[in-house]
């Protein structure tokens, strides 16, 4: 958990969410201009299972925007190189490479083999986007589709398998016949980098239930003007691809919350609770807990070590977690409460 300390410090994050991310499975289709920025961010954040699908090899003309590859790796499989890159970045996660083109046969194989929490589309053609949209609907997995061209791009979250949510085809009922790709139209490395980072950001927010990005939200980036435009796409009730879908909800986007009391030092003393200080050692040494009502030395277990050191937590007395600002302590208390500890609370740091 140590590597995730900075994201765990966010008040909106929790150990439970981090653990949930470690059990999350995603499919990234395309390890090119979008996959290059997306994959390291998701691996670094701790997405536990990443499947990379790309049948292409590294070409010298890719290197200006696909910066996870090196110039001595040309003609090697992107999916396999990206897998190695991610494994060196985070050995806690599982990465798989599919070095073949998505088509009807292996598409079906994929569909039967995995249940993805999120499908990320980083492809550069409508045929693949259409396949992924069908896959999203059949497998009931949300699709986060992105595309980039010249100085712009767009990212949208689709879930056409839900009765009231759009699919990719609700946005594009008819695919343009003469669509350009990056080979023909050109693209700056910075443009695909920005769109890829936005896609990675929306993916993390979606998986962790952070922010207020919703299914059907489309972000359109005009990078020549540094302007982002947001639209919300309703389901097209006459969309031939996604009409008549079952009424289902997305369980993987649901969040659980446990109510934890925040008590003063006086109330914690009355409960005779054992205090667990989840700050880092350097914080504790520079600001030790000194209070007449603290009768026994607090346990010292930094937040990121709580999952590993659960066995050190006493079960015979209430537990009161404390940190520097009642955020990490709340995280720790929610985490242990969800695992069967009934009498846990937060010791209000500001009551000391
Ligand atoms: Zn649709």
DSSP readout, 6-70?
HHHTSTT--HHHHHHHHT-EEEEE--STTHHHHHHHHHHHT-SEEEEE---B--GGGTTT-TTS-
Model confidence at 101, in pLDDT bands (50, 70, 90)? Answer: confident
Q: What pTM, to 2 d.p., does this model score?
A: 0.75
Q: What is the pLDDT of residues 261-271, one digit of tens each?
A: 889 999 999 99
**Bridge-based pairing state of the strands 261-263 and 227-232:** unpaired
Residue 126: CB atoms within 10 Å: 17
In this structure, of 53-57, 93-97, 112-116, 194-198, the range with the lowest mean pLDDT score is: 112-116
Tell me, in angstroms, the distance from the centre of ligand 1 to residue 164's CA.
10
Tell me, in angstroms, the distance from the centre of ligand 1 to residue 192's CA.
26
**Dihedral over alpha carbons 61, 63, 68, 70 (to 10 degrees):** 100
Tell me, in angstroms, the distance from the centre of ligand 1 to residue 41's CA.
29
Asked if 176 and 196 sit in the same domain, the reply is yes
Give the residue from 218, 253, 288 where a domain finishes. 253
Tell me, in angstroms, the distance from the centre of ligand 1 to residue 132's CA.
13
Query: How far apart (Å, rounded) are the C-alpha atoms in residues 98 and 83?
Result: 10
What residues make up the domain containing 80? 2-253
Give the residue from 253, 273, 300 where a domain finishes. 253
Tell me, in angstroms, the distance from the centre of ligand 1 to residue 116's CA.
20
Tell me, in angstroms, the distance from the centre of ligand 1 to residue 31's CA.
26
Tell me, in angstroms, the distance from the centre of ligand 1 to residue 105's CA.
23
pLDDT number for residue 186 = 84
Asked if 284 and 197 sit in the same domain, the reply is no
Asked if 144 and 51 sit in the same domain, the reply is yes
Tell me, in angstroms, the distance from the centre of ligand 1 to residue 168's CA.
6
Tell me, in angstroms, the distance from the centre of ligand 1 to residue 144's CA.
14
131 closest CA partner among 173, 171, 103, 165: 103
141 closest CA partner among 22, 248, 31: 248
Asked if 266 and 142 sit in the same domain, the reply is no
Asked if 288 and 234 sit in the same domain, the reply is no
Q: Does residue 119 sit in helix, strand or coil?
A: strand
Tell me, in angstroms, the distance from the centre of ligand 1 to residue 157's CA.
12
Backbone angles phi, psi at 310, to 5 degrees: -55, -35
Q: How many domains does the chain have?
A: 2
Asked if 76 and 119 sit in the same domain, the reply is yes
Asked if 247 and 284 sit in the same domain, the reply is no
Model confidence at 248, in pLDDT bands (50, 70, 90)? Answer: very low
Tell me, in angstroms, the distance from the centre of ligand 1 to residue 174's CA.
11
Give the residue from 253, 280, 310 where a domain finishes. 253
In this structure, of 45-54, 59-68, 102-111, the range with the lowest mean pLDDT score is: 102-111
pLDDT number for residue 256 = 41
What crossing angle do the helices spanning 15-22 and 189-208 adopt, rounded to 10°?
Answer: 110
Interval 220-248 mean pLDDT: 86
Tell me, in angstroms, the distance from the centre of ligand 1 to residue 60's CA.
38
Asked if 294 and 236 sit in the same domain, the reply is no
Q: What is the pLDDT of residues 119-175, one digit of tens each?
A: 999 999 988 999 999 989 988 899 999 999 888 999 999 999 988 899 999 998 887
Tell me, in angstroms, the distance from the centre of ligand 1 to residue 170's CA.
4
Query: How far apart (Å, rounded) are the C-alpha atoms in residues 181 and 183?
Result: 5
Tell me, in angstroms, the distance from the centre of ligand 1 to residue 165's CA.
8
Asked if 266 and 144 sit in the same domain, the reply is no
Asked if 247 and 269 sit in the same domain, the reply is no
Query: How far apart (Å, rounded) are the C-alpha atoms in residues 270 and 293?
Result: 9
Classify each residue of 181-204 as buried b or exposed e, where b means 16 or more C-beta atoms within 10 Å of its C-beta: ebeeeebbbebbbbbbebbbbbbb
Residue 271 is part of a domain; what is its CATH number?
3.40.250.10
Tell me, in angstroms, the distance from the centre of ligand 1 to residue 97's CA.
29
306 closest CA partner among 91, 32, 1: 1
Asked if 235 and 268 sit in the same domain, the reply is no
Model confidence at 104, in pLDDT bands (50, 70, 90)? Answer: low
Model confidence at 334, in pLDDT bands (50, 70, 90)? Answer: confident
Tell me, in angstroms, the distance from the centre of ligand 1 to residue 27's CA.
21
Burial class (CB in 10 A: 0-12, 13-18, 19+), 72: exposed
Tell me, in angstroms, the distance from the centre of ligand 1 to residue 150's CA.
27
Q: What is the percent of the chain where pLDDT is above 70?
A: 91
pLDDT number for residue 108 = 67
Residue 6 is part of a domain; what is its CATH number?
3.40.50.720
């Amino acid at each position: 958990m140590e590597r995730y300390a900075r994201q765990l410090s966010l008040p909106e994050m929790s150990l439970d969410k981090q653990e949930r991310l470690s059990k999350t499975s995603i499919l990234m289709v395309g390890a090119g201009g979008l996959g290059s920025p997306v994959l390291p961010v998701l691996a670094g954040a701790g997405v536990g299972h990443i499947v990379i699908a790309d049948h292409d090899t590294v070409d010298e003309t890719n290197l200006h925007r696909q910066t996870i590859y090196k110039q001595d790796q040309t003609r090697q499989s992107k999916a396999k190189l990206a897998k190695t890159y991610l494994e060196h970045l985070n050995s806690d996660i599982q990465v798989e490479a599919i070095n073949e083109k998505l088509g009807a046969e292996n598409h079906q194989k994929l569909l039967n083999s995995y249940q993805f929490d999120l499908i990320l589309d980083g492809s550069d053609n409508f045929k693949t986007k259409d396949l992924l949209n069908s896959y999203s609907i059949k497998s009931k997995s949300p699709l986060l589709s992105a595309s980039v061209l010249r100085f712009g791009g767009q990212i949208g979250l689709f879930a056409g398998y839900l009765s009231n949510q759009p699919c990719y085809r609700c946005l594009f009922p008819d695919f343009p016949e003469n669509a350009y790709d990056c080979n023909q139209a050109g693209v700056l490395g910075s443009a695909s980098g920005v769109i890829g980072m936005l896609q990675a950001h929306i993916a993390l927010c979606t998986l962790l239930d952070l922010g207020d990005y919703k299914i059907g939200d489309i972000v359109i980036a005009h990078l020549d003007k540094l302007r982002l435009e947001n639209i919300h796409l309703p389901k097209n009730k006459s969309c031939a691809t996604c009409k008549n879908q079952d009424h289902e909800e997305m369980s993987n986007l649901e969040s659980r919350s446990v109510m934890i009391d925040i008590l003063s030092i006086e109330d914690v003393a009355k409960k005779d609770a054992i205090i667990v200080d989840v700050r880092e050692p350097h914080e504790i040494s520079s600001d030790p807990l000194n209070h007449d009502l603290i009768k026994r030395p607090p346990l010292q277990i930094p937040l990121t070590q709580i999952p590993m050191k659960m066995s050190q937590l006493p079960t015979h007395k209430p537990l009161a977690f404390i940190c520097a600002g009642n955020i990490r302590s709340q995280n720790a208390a929610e985490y242990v409460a969800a695992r069967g500890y009934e009498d846990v609370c937060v010791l209000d740091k500001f009551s000391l």
